Amino acid sequence: MTDAKKQQGRLSEAEAIERAKQGNADAFEALYNLHKRRVYSLCLRMTANTAAAEDLTQEAFLQLFRKIGTFRGESAFSTWLHRMAVNVVLMQLRKKGLPVVPLEENIETEEESPRKELGGDDPRLAGSIDRMQLQRSIESLPPGYRMIFLLHDVEGYEHNEIAAMVGCSIGNSKSQLHKARMKLREILRTSRAEKATKP
């Protein structure tokens, strides 16, 4: 995107926010269209359920629009919305009693812990990961690993932000992220090896 278009986009979003504060229907919809994919994708990856993701997307936007009168522009609008979406999802998961993040003193079984391969001649994954394969692999991660991976690597949050959101330490966030990536690496390499052996 060129700088001119970016500038236009920023002004348009600011304009839409002001008009939404006045109760303009088109402005609400414009803001929704601008951010719906990111919010929905986040909810979908966290819940792995289309219906739940749509409900959570709706709830996140409604909470945002109810509070839009209080938005003063201290942070980027998208950041504000995104935080709200993450909180909505986390609240839902907690309500259902589903694990949000592994315990600090997580003691994994042999099955859960990603194997640390210190040898072998497997070729690198660079250039060989396709989107669908990665999506499926993420879905098969344990919920705690999936949460941290999505927040850090997919959505771009820093560890201190993740720690504040999910209620863990920064060290735990880093550790879980590393384990999530190791687990994904194992799943992707296994999948590639299986494909290679098929006739």
Contact residues toward another protein (CB under 8 A) are 1, 9, 12-13, 15-16, 19, 22-34, 36-38, 40-42, 44-45, 51, 53-54, 57-58, 61-62, 65-66, 116-120, 122, 124-127, 129, 131, 134-135, 138, 149, 153-156, 171, 174-175, 177-179, 181-182, 184-185, 188
- Which of these, 60, 65, 3, lies nearest to 31 by C-alpha position? 65
Shortest distance (Å) from residue 115 CB to another protein: 12
User: Which C-beta is closer to another protein: that of 45 or that of 161?
Assistant: 45
Residue 115: DSSP 8-state: P
What is the rounded distance in angstroms from the CA atom of residue 56 to the CA atom of residue 61?
9
Task: Supply the angle between the helices 77-95 and 25-47 in degrees, to the nearest 10.
Answer: 50
User: Which C-beta is closer to another protein: that of 98 or that of 158?
Assistant: 158
Q: Which pairs from 53-56 meet CB under 8 Å and 24+ separation?
A: 56/85, 56/88, 56/89, 56/92
Shortest distance (Å) from residue 50 CB to another protein: 8
User: Which C-beta is closer to another protein: that of 129 or that of 164?
Assistant: 129
Shortest distance (Å) from residue 173 CB to another protein: 10
Task: Supply the angle between the helices 25-47 and 50-66 in degrees, to the nearest 10.
Answer: 140
| φ, ψ at 48 (rounded to 5°) | 55, 30
Shortest distance (Å) from residue 72 CB to another protein: 18
User: Which C-beta is closer to another protein: that of 88 or that of 199?
Assistant: 88
Encoded tokens for 161: 């932000």
What is the rounded distance in angstroms from the CA atom of residue 75 to the CA atom of residue 24?
22
User: Which C-beta is closer to another protein: that of 58 or that of 164?
Assistant: 58
